[in-house]
Structure 1
Amino acid sequence: MSDRIYSGGCLCGAVRFEATGPAEKPHTCSCRFCQQHTGAPTAAWVEFPAGRIAWTGTAGRPSTWRSSDYSSRAFCPACGSSIGAIDDEPVVALLIGGFDDPADPAFTPEYHSFEDCRPGWLRVETASGEE
């Protein structure tokens, strides 16, 4: 665990971010909110305290849509790319695919949420070796 900087952004580059680590709770999730937010059967997330996120792109902070009583889904106002979720705690959960280096070992999922919503044909492996 280190206080390194992880960078990333949306497809068009208008929303860029720098997240100061350590990366927390990397995981995958198959809940319907994640499926509909990303268009994928499973989303891969990593969390950071909101105070450790700097929005550095020309668009500034991403646009949001309130998805529950405790969280808003974040997306680029220009290209529509999903960025993550901004929780009220305050926690920002960023989609791992939006990082400049999504293969970084710090993003290896530790667990899988909402396993019961995962399509039976999809296999998801976590750091613990669970599927």
Structure 2
Amino acid sequence: MNGTRDKSGGCQCGAVRYRTTGELGYPHVCHCRMCQKAAGNYSLPLAGVMRSDFDITRGEPKWFHSSDLVRRGFCGECGTPLFYDVPGAEFINITLGSLDEPQSVKPVAQSNMASKMRWSHELDALPVEPEPESSEREDAIASSNHQHPDHDTDHWPPGESR
């Protein structure tokens, strides 16, 4: 496997957190229909890490067997997709969007191209929404944000003891 080492990540609400201490292998974007459904999106970026280099550091994911061969791990509280797992394999795949620093892992390939959206190459040509004239809405969202920060915390949410 090749890639970047020592990463942490987790779900949106902070109930499930994980850490990898090994290299992330084969970071890629999967376009298969199962990944689309699991992510609720057009594709799902994934990378593998050896099980010996992977730990769940908070909570326990829920699992859904999307086929007889594969199960998918997600947060039972907020629903964030976290893992693509082949039980018995030496590795587990993590969803790259669940990393604390998703920008740090660049995919090296795409898979299951038959299910890729035919128009996806046109996305960069779409108009971009203008920035708001007032930051009122963004300030209101920031001041009421319940999303876990992009780093490990001793406990979550703030003010709640273990």
Could you say what secondary structure the match of 1:70 adopts?
Answer: coil
Identity %: 30
Aligned to 1:84: 83
Unaligned 5+ segments in structure 1 are: 124-131
Q: In the comparison of the two structures, how many residue pairs are matched?
A: 119
2:37 is paired with a residue whose SS is helix
**TM-score between the two structures when normalised by the length of structure 1:** 0.84
Q: Which runs of 4+ in 1 moved over 2 A?
A: 1-4
**2:69 is matched by which residue type in structure 1?**
Y
Query: What is the rounded CA distance, in whole Å, between the counterparts of 2:3 and 2:97 in structure 1?
Result: 21
Task: Give the secondary-structure state (helix, strand or coil) at the position aligned to 1:33.
Answer: helix
Structure with more helix by fraction: 2
Alignment equivalent of 1:118, drawn from 106, 112, 116: 116
Q: 1:27, 1:111 within 8 Å by CA — same for their partners in 2? A: yes
Structure with a larger share of its residues in strand: 1
CA-CA distance at 1:98 after TM superposition: 0.3
Describe the SS at the equivalent of 2:52.
helix
Unaligned runs of 5+ in 2: 122-162
* TM superposition shift of 1:3: 7.6
The answer as to whether partners of 1:3 and 1:20 remain within 8 angstroms in 2 is no
- Once the two structures are TM-superposed, the CA of residue 2 in structure 1 deviates from its matched residue by 7.3
Q: Partners of 1:95 and 1:13 in 2: how far apart?
A: 15
Deviation for aligned residue 1:20: 1.4
Residue 75 of structure 1: aligned partner? 74
Any conservation in 1 of the 2:22–2:50 contact (CA below 8 Å)? no
Deviation at 1:33, TM superposition (A): 0.5
- Radius of gyration: which is bigger? 2
